[in-house]
């Protein structure tokens, strides 16, 4: 089983899926995307990328990379349904957190939809690579 974690996966699919998902996040949460209204809904000031907390950016990329790796593992074992369940579980947790934090409905929808969108991107990257 451990060999599958490293050698049975499409590393190109994992890496491309992670990078594309991270870049989609920049657009998603930018003023050109949903960023302006999202930032109002979570109570933060929308600033340019150079002013983003480095810890948040590093952890965001790490989480996206690990999620992409999980999707890669499910692709290697032909477990698409498992990938869909993982994506939905993460989205539900993000949405629940939004309700606990009393974010606006708009912000909650933006955050939950982002997880679903990047999950689809990761699945597509596994199919391509």
Q: What are the DSSP calls for 85-127, one per residue? A: HHHHHHHHHHHHHHHHTT--HHHHHHHHHHHHHHHHHHHHHHH
Range of the domain at 14: 2-128
pLDDT digits (tens, 9 = 90+) for 81-96: 999 999 999 999 999 9
* Residue 125, pLDDT score: 98
Decide if pLDDT at 16 tops 70.
yes
How many domains does the chain divide into?
Answer: 1
* Count of CA atoms in the C-beta half-sphere (13 A) of 96: 6
Say what the pLDDT of residue 46 is. 86
Kindly state the average pLDDT of the residues 105-126.
Answer: 98
Written as one string, the DSSP assignment of 39-78 is HHHHT-----GGGS-HHHHHHHHHHHHHHHHHHHHHHHTT
Q: What is the DSSP letter of 83?
A: H
User: What pLDDT was estimated at residue 4?
Assistant: 58
CB 63 within 8 A of CB 115: no
Q: What is the pTM of this model?
A: 0.92
Q: What is the DSSP letter of 9?
A: S
């Amino acid at each position: 089983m451990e060999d599958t974690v490293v050698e049975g996966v499409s590393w190109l699919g994992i890496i491309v899926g992670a990078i594309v998902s991270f870049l989609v996040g920049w657009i998603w949460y930018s003023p050109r995307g949903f960023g302006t209204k999202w930032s109002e809904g979570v109570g933060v000031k929308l600033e340019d990328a150079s002013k983003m907390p480095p810890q948040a950016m590093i952890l965001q990329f790490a989480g996206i990379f690990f999620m992409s790796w999980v999707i890669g593992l499910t692709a290697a074992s032909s477990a698409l349904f498992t990938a869909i369940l993982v994506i939905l579980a993460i989205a539900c947790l993000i949405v629940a957190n939004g309700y606990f934090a009393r974010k606006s409905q708009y912000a909650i929808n933006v955050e939950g939809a982002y997880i679903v969108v990047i999950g689809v991107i990761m699945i597509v990257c596994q199919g391509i690579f």
